[in-house]
Each structure stands twice: as structure tokens, then as C-alpha cells.
Amino acid sequence: MAIDLVTRRDWNARAPRGDYTQLDSTKGVKVHYTGGRVDPAIVSDHDRCVALVRSIQSYHMDGNGWIDIGYSFVACPHRKVFEGRGLHHLPAANGPGLNSGHYAVLGLVGNTGLIEPPDAILHAILDAVQYVRDSGDAGREIKGHRDGYATDCPGAPLYGWVRRGAPRPGEDAEGPTTPPFPGRPLTYPPVTRGQDVRTWQAQMRERGWDLDVDGAYGPASRDVCRRFQRQQGVTDDGIVGPVTWRLAWEAPGG
């Protein structure tokens, strides 16, 4: 499903008070919550989402003295994504020195009132994540505000979800569908060829690795395999055995 974007015009945003700082690319996204009370009534009334986002913008501009709302995007319980500072603009919400590393995405939950994120908020956060990957040169990381900064944000429920690899709701219970291990290790040299190689290459590409899906496991595939193994903390022998195969589908992140 494509992102359901609420443009700044749609939510009647105030104009920023100054020029944004250009943001060429990021490592990914940091997830936030409001840190205050969110009225559970927003779940059945999108107009309340709009009012809440407007009040957050005013607080950031008039209270914090920022040029605009601090977030890049805001995810609401109607699976809509509000455009905050938007693509390629430095956010302010991640903390000093941390804004250039990640886009900042707020889920409209708080520490009282609406605490547990409804599935639609999780979907909307992931819609925003996909959008910044596709159009904003964002990398694969999905982290919480508290990663690298002293804060409770994004609260226990959202942070727990981030730590589980930020799965789409509904995919949690069954887990990802890992194809069965082909029964032979994928190795080089010599080049291993086959549909199983193609399946693994396509999955690694899906995870964000730069790799041709040509069905031939050669030096480039082995190199990606080794780097992936090091990232995952398993022996970097460059061989896709049962463990490395499974991790390609089941390990969180890229």
C-alpha cells in the first residue's frame, strides 16, 4: 500500500521560520513518541490528529524556538503520514549531533492516555520508512530515539517493537517465511549456479545489499555473504550454509 501522505497544506502547517538544512542521505529512521498524554479519542477522530500535530508544531516553534516541527514525519492511527520537515531536510527531534544520521518519525502515542500503538500507527511508521528509503536516500536502520540519547522515547511499547525488527503487524505471529535451505552450501570457488543462488541473491538485494541477481555465486556474492556474516556475528567463511541462509530472512535490519 502506498503512503497516505497528509501534506503540510492538508494539515494547515505554519510556514517554517527559516531555511531548512539540506540532508543528503541518512542511515535510516529514528522512531519517537510524544512523551506526553495522547487523548485516546484521536483513534476515532482524525481531526484530533490534525489538531495534535498542529499543537506539537506550535510547541516546537514557540516553546523550543525551532524553525518548524522537529519531526520529519508523523504517523497517526488512521494509517496516515503527516509531512513534517519532510524529505532531505534536517530534523531537530533526534538530539544535538544526531539529526543528520536519521530521519525522525513520530508515532502518535504518549506515556499516558494512548500508550499502546494501534496497528495502523505501526503500518504508518513503516509506510514513512519505506517512503524515505525510496525517495529520501535513507538507509536500512530503524532505531529508537533512546538509541544514543538519554531519553525514554519512544516509550516501552514502540521501543519493544523496534527491537523486534519493526515487523508489519500480522507478520509477527507467523514470522517471516524462510524458504527451505536448498540442501547444499552456496560456495565460491568454483562458481555455484542455480535457482537457490538466485533466491538468496534476491533476498540479499531486498535487504539492501548491492548485488546482481544472476544465479551465479561468485566473488561478489561471497563478498556480500562475508560482510553480512560479520554484521550478524557469525563466522565469516563466505559460505551460505543453513544458518546464514536462515539469517538472510529472519535477522532484523539490513
| Amino acid identity for residue 193 in this structure | R
Residue 132 Cβ vs Zn ion, minimum distance, rounded to whole Å = 17
Residue 254 Cβ vs Zn ion, minimum distance, rounded to whole Å = 23
Residue 234 Cβ vs Zn ion, minimum distance, rounded to whole Å = 33
Nearest CB to Zn ion, comparing residues 91 and 215 = 91
Are the C-beta atoms of 253 and 228 separated by less than 8 Å? Answer: no
Nearest CB to Zn ion, comparing residues 74 and 248 = 74
In whole angstroms, what is the distance from residue 150 CA to residue 120 CA? Answer: 28
Candidate residues 32, 60, 85, 143; the one interacting with Zn ion per rule CB under 5 A = 32
Q: How many residues bind Zn ion (CB under 5 A)?
A: 7
Nearest CB to Zn ion, comparing residues 75 and 204 = 75
Strand order in the sheet with 81-83: 5-6, 81-83, 73-75, 102-107, 26-32, 138-144
Cell numbers standing for residue 133: 528509503
Residue 153 Cβ vs Zn ion, minimum distance, rounded to whole Å = 3
**For Zn ion, what does the binding mask look like between residues 42 and 81, x meaning CB under 5 A?**
----x--x--------------------------x-x---
Can you name the residues that pair with 104 across neighbouring β-strands? 30
For helices 242-250 and 219-232, give the axis angle rounded to 10 degrees. Answer: 70
Segment contacting Zn ion by CB under 5 A, of 31-39, 164-172, 208-216, 231-239 = 31-39
Segment contacting Zn ion by CB under 5 A, of 114-122, 146-154, 169-177, 204-212 = 146-154
Residue 102 engages Zn ion in binding (rule: CB under 5 A): no
Instruction: Please name the residues in contact with 233: beta carbons below 8 A apart, sequence gap of 6 or more.
Output: none
State the pairing for strand pair 138-144/26-32. parallel
**Helices of type H across the chain:** 46-58, 119-135, 155-163, 195-206, 219-232, 242-250
Sign of the dihedral defined by the CA atoms of residues 194, 200, 202, 205, in that order: negative
Nearest CB to Zn ion, comparing residues 20 and 149 = 149
Candidate residues 23, 38, 153, 204; the one interacting with Zn ion per rule CB under 5 A = 153
Residue 8 Cβ vs Zn ion, minimum distance, rounded to whole Å = 15
Nearest CB to Zn ion, comparing residues 143 and 222 = 143
Residue 145 engages Zn ion in binding (rule: CB under 5 A): yes
Nearest CB to Zn ion, comparing residues 61 and 220 = 61
Nearest CB to Zn ion, comparing residues 29 and 153 = 153
Cα angle: 47, vertex 19, 48; to 5 degrees = 10
In whole angstroms, what is the distance from residue 78 CA to residue 43 CA? Answer: 7
Where along the sequence are the contacts to Zn ion (CB under 5 A)? 32, 46, 49, 76, 78, 145, 153
